[in-house]
Chain A
Amino acid sequence: MTDIPALRLQDIVKTFPGVRALDGVSFQVMPGEVHALLGENGAGKSTLMKVLGGIHQPDEGKIFIAEQPAIMKSPLDAKSKGVVFIHQELSLADELSAAENIYLGELPRKSFGRVDWKTLYEKSDAILARLKCSFDSRKLVGDLSIANKQMVEIARALTVDAKAVIFDEPTASLTDAEKVVLFDVINDLRSDGVGVVYISHRMDEIFTISDKISVLRDGSYRGSLVTADTDEDEVTKLMIGRSLDSENPIVPAKKGPIALEVQGLSCGDLFQNVSFKVHEGEVVGFYGLVGAGRTEIAETLFGLRAPSAGKILLEGKEVKIASPIEAIGHGISLVPEDRKGQGLVLGMNCKDNMTLPQISDLTAGPFVSDGAEVAIFDQYRDRLQIKTPGWRQKVGNLSGGNQQKIVIGKWLSMAPKVLIVDEPTRGIDVGSKAEIHNLIRDLASQGYAVIVISSEMPEVLRVSDRVVAMFHGEIIREFTSDEVNEDNLVQAISGIRTTKVA
């Protein structure tokens, strides 16, 4: 292998109003190297890659591709220089087919500017086959599941002869099987001599796939490590400046009376005959594959779906929940799965987003009380360590992880009786993740009833007093924290009923 770097960034500075996102960062990737880029939420990882990808223009600094100086004025420039960018946030056109999305911007042509559909579908199908995707490339992207959309996004990495491929948190919504496929692809790219940048908050992935690790902190470069010679603790220290807080051990909280009980709840094809109880002071984890019906149960409890059968009981009394307003009135909070679509109004500032559900109560006379709002914001900013220049910042300008924290803060500040969190730590850095896990345990010990929906097994095992395993819209089994382990959980969510059905 040559010793010319596939790409090199030198002294990159990038500022946004009120934020110095990158402060003289240098970074390089060799051909055939998988280089992990780590850092807390808001450290500047995505920004650095967007500078490389031509989406942002750096204020200072240079970019070299194979040691040739490169000016990336637009994504088009970046692409033509062999830099492919797989975005953190899905960047797809829903009304077009998967194939058209894979080749977006470079559809194969025939005479008169016609699309060469045959070539397009053949090539796309081949790529999807390589990614072990079973759907037809003619299918509209809007009709695909989130995981499959993510695979379409990843498929773009294979369309061109790339010199460098950037993966910005590609696994946030993938299942383990899909992750394996992704890693195969990355290994292929590596052996083809492509330089790969891999951004993720999941240490296990980083140690599986990367050759080198570089760390950003507060917009500046903190050093690189060779993956084989380091361990999680060292990386974490570099990242957050200290070792990880030990997560509070699970002290099974005092179980109070039943806060929420669900009996035989069904909703069309989405889930059937679901029954479970959540006590005060208890965390119940819902684990299953994407599409198992967990989110839909949460949405039903929150009044967003009409159940076709079954009962919901709060503190022993049957309730009908026809809208989120009623759900909130009953003391239920839902941190939704899709933060951009469902959790946030991106154009509004941080404070306004956080106080939105209770805005009618934060008044002095007929008017909104700024003071009360800011107090709430400050409290949760400190508690969740949200990184933002101030409450006036538009939420859309925060980093992905900090956006998620705003959503969590918004619902915690409602002091709910029943808190449902759907994928609470998707895209959140290790430090804050531990923080959020501790928070969830704290809430339970304060007597809240908490439901945690997660596709990350370690997370479910970490925070739950009980785990409910779901498969295809049905509850397969309920485990206590003593019974549950990785093996029986994996079996349960694949639909294998080992012991008694709970």
Chain B
Amino acid sequence: MAETRAKTIGQFLARQGILVAFVLFMIGFALANGRFLGIDNIMGVVRSSAILGVIALGVTFVVISGNLDLSVGSMMSFSTIVVLDLHDKIGPALAIPAMFAMTMALGALIGFLVGYLKLNSLIVTLGMLSAIHGLTLTYSGGKNMDIDDKAGTWFSFFGQDSVLGIPVPILVIALLAVLLSLLLSRTPFGRKVYAVGGNGVAATFSGIPRARVVFMCYLISAFCVAVAGLLQASRSLGSQNTVGQGTELDVLAAVILGGASLLGGSGTIFKTVIGVLILGFIQNGLLLVGLAFYVQYVVTWVIIILAVWLDIAAKRGRLLSPIA
């Protein structure tokens, strides 16, 4: 009995390698700095990870469906700039839906290209990274965007206020994570996403509309980007054209750190959240310990690889890869 229980726990841990890595790493930092696990600090980390996290939730869908999305960074710049610009022109109540519509239209375009035309997603989204950046620059005329009346707008609610003592960005990401997690793990649509990413041909042979599923994944991703753009704009009430640049690789790192395979067919929302938190806490922890940003880079490198390594090693039951 005891033996089987030990075995089940062992198997559980093996499946949750990344979680174990996360816990170990939190303990390490907590020992190094007492403030690390303080509630304020934790809230702070979650809050500052919220934007990256929201995007990562959407990208999880895309990655599981067997594709990539490198355009999320410039798409977020786009939505931020657009919503800030429209805020003063048509008011926040109209600006927000307008921005969502425009962002999701871009998502739909990508979804069409990758899903229905079956073009390689890496190149399409790389192209869109560049094209959307160009679009943003054209839209803004290369200038920074600012809201005129920063004090008098309720628009700051999403990025700056709290409800019941919890910052709104945290509520938003929590809500979104729960909903999307249900969508992915419990609904027929979610199952189809896994099937399409796992073996697209077999999915087609099973009567799954592969193109539409991929299309929907990009739409979800764009929706999440729009939410992130809203949070970003609301937090800063002003922005440069380059605000989201480089986010795409951080997002991908988080998703993959969470254990989604780049080949598609595996990953979960929960794991992505863990991935996001690991990245967030690494940055925060290193800051608290007081390291220069470039030392952070190096340490982040080591931690990312160790975390994923541990995850894989636990799954295969041995430390080193058996490949000759």
Report the minimum CB–CB distance from B209 to chain A (whole Å).
Answer: 6
Report A223-266 CB contacts with B as 1/0, cut-off 8 Å.
00000000000000000000000000000000000000000000
- B206–A368 CB distance below 8 A: no
- A336–B205 CB distance below 8 A: yes
Does B5 make an interface contact (CB < 8 A)? Answer: no
Interface residues of B in 256-270 (CB under 8 A from A): 265-266
Instruction: Return chain B residues, CB-CB under 8 Å to A345.
Output: 194-195, 198-199, 202-203, 265
In whole angstroms, how far apart are the Cα atoms of A410 and B207 in the complex? 12
- Classify the interface of chain A: helix, strand, loop or mixed: mixed
Stretch at the interface among A128-136, A186-194, A351-359, A466-474: A351-359
Query: Which bracket fits the contact residues of A?
Result: 20 to 34
Contact of B191 among A73, A328, A359 (CB under 8 A): A359
In whole angstroms, how far apart are the Cα atoms of A357 and B192 in the complex? 10
Does A367 make an interface contact (CB < 8 A)? Answer: yes
Identity of the chain B residue whose Cβ is nearest the Cβ of A75 in the assembled complex: B324
- B208–A356 CB distance below 8 A: yes
Does A68 make an interface contact (CB < 8 A)? Answer: no
In whole angstroms, how far apart are the Cα atoms of A340 and B236 in the complex? 51
Instruction: Return chain A residues, CB-CB under 8 Å to B266.
Output: 347
In whole angstroms, how far apart are the Cα atoms of A342 and B198 in the complex? 11
Report the minimum CB–CB distance from B191 to chain A (whole Å).
Answer: 5
Does B123 make an interface contact (CB < 8 A)? Answer: no
Identity of the chain B residue whose Cβ is nearest the Cβ of A348 in the assembled complex: B198
- A348–B11 CB distance below 8 A: no
Identity of the chain B residue whose Cβ is nearest the Cβ of A355 in the assembled complex: B191
Contact of A352 among B182, B187, B191, B208 (CB under 8 A): B191
Does A4 make an interface contact (CB < 8 A)? Answer: no
Identity of the chain A residue whose Cβ is nearest the Cβ of B189 in the assembled complex: A360
In whole angstroms, how far apart are the Cα atoms of A53 and B324 in the complex? 14
- B206–A410 CB distance below 8 A: yes
Report the minimum CB–CB distance from A301 to chain B (whole Å).
Answer: 13
Does A74 make an interface contact (CB < 8 A)? Answer: yes
Contact of A368 among B187, B207, B209 (CB under 8 A): B187
- B198–A346 CB distance below 8 A: yes
User: What would 6 A/B residue contacts be, using CB atoms closer than 8 Å?
Assistant: A76-B324, A304-B205, A324-B206, A336-B205, A352-B191, A368-B186
Instruction: Return chain A residues, CB-CB under 8 Å to B48.
Output: none
- B188–A363 CB distance below 8 A: yes
Does B31 make an interface contact (CB < 8 A)? Answer: no
Contact of B194 among A327, A346, A348 (CB under 8 A): A348
In whole angstroms, how far apart are the Cα atoms of A342 and B195 in the complex? 12
Instruction: Return chain A residues, CB-CB under 8 Å to B324.
Output: 73-74, 76
Interface residues of A in 10-25 (CB under 8 A from B): 17
Contact of A328 among B199, B201, B207 (CB under 8 A): B207
Does B204 make an interface contact (CB < 8 A)? Answer: yes
Interface residues of B in 172-212 (CB under 8 A from A): 182, 186-188, 191-192, 194-195, 198-199, 201-209
Report the minimum CB–CB distance from B303 to chain A (whole Å).
Answer: 28
Instruction: Return chain A residues, CB-CB under 8 Å to B203.
Output: 345, 356
Contact of A325 among B194, B195, B209 (CB under 8 A): B209
- Classify the interface of chain B: helix, strand, loop or mixed: helix
Instruction: Return chain A residues, CB-CB under 8 Å to B186.
Output: 366-368
Does A343 make an interface contact (CB < 8 A)? Answer: yes
- B202–A327 CB distance below 8 A: no
Contact of B207 among A327, A342, A348 (CB under 8 A): A327
- A324–B204 CB distance below 8 A: yes
Report the minimum CB–CB distance from B9 to chain A (whole Å).
Answer: 14
Does A452 make an interface contact (CB < 8 A)? Answer: no
A356 with B204, Cβ < 8 A, contacts A344-B199, A368-B186 known = no
Report the minimum CB–CB distance from B62 to chain A (whole Å).
Answer: 17
In whole angstroms, how far apart are the Cα atoms of A321 and B206 in the complex? 15
- A325–B207 CB distance below 8 A: yes
Does A341 make an interface contact (CB < 8 A)? Answer: yes
Name the 9 nearest CB pairs between A and B, nearest first. Answer: A345-B198, A328-B207, A367-B186, A345-B199, A356-B206, A324-B207, A360-B188, A357-B206, A359-B188
Contact of B11 among A17, A302, A343, A410 (CB under 8 A): A17
Instruction: Return chain B residues, CB-CB under 8 Å to A9.
Output: none
Instruction: Return chain B residues, CB-CB under 8 Å to A367.
Output: 182, 186-187
Does A334 make an interface contact (CB < 8 A)? Answer: yes
Report B259-284 CB contacts with A as 1/0, cut-off 8 Å.
00000011000000000000000000
Instruction: Return chain A residues, CB-CB under 8 Å to B265.
Output: 345, 347-348
Report A406-433 CB contacts with B as 1/0, cut-off 8 Å.
0000100000000000000000000000
In whole angstroms, how far apart are the Cα atoms of A334 and B202 in the complex? 12
Instruction: Return chain A residues, CB-CB under 8 Å to B194.
Output: 345, 348, 352
A342 with B11, Cβ < 8 A, contacts A356-B195, A359-B192 known = no
Identity of the chain A residue whose Cβ is nearest the Cβ of B266 in the assembled complex: A347
Instruction: Return chain A residues, CB-CB under 8 Å to B198.
Output: 345-348
- B205–A343 CB distance below 8 A: yes
Report the minimum CB–CB distance from A173 to chain B (whole Å).
Answer: 18
Instruction: Return chain A residues, CB-CB under 8 Å to B201.
Output: 341-342
In whole angstroms, how far apart are the Cα atoms of A344 and B201 in the complex? 9
In whole angstroms, how far apart are the Cα atoms of A362 and B191 in the complex? 12
- B202–A342 CB distance below 8 A: yes
Instruction: Return chain B residues, CB-CB under 8 Å to A336.
Output: 205
Instruction: Return chain A residues, CB-CB under 8 Å to B188.
Output: 359-360, 362-363, 368
Report the minimum CB–CB distance from A353 to chain B (whole Å).
Answer: 8
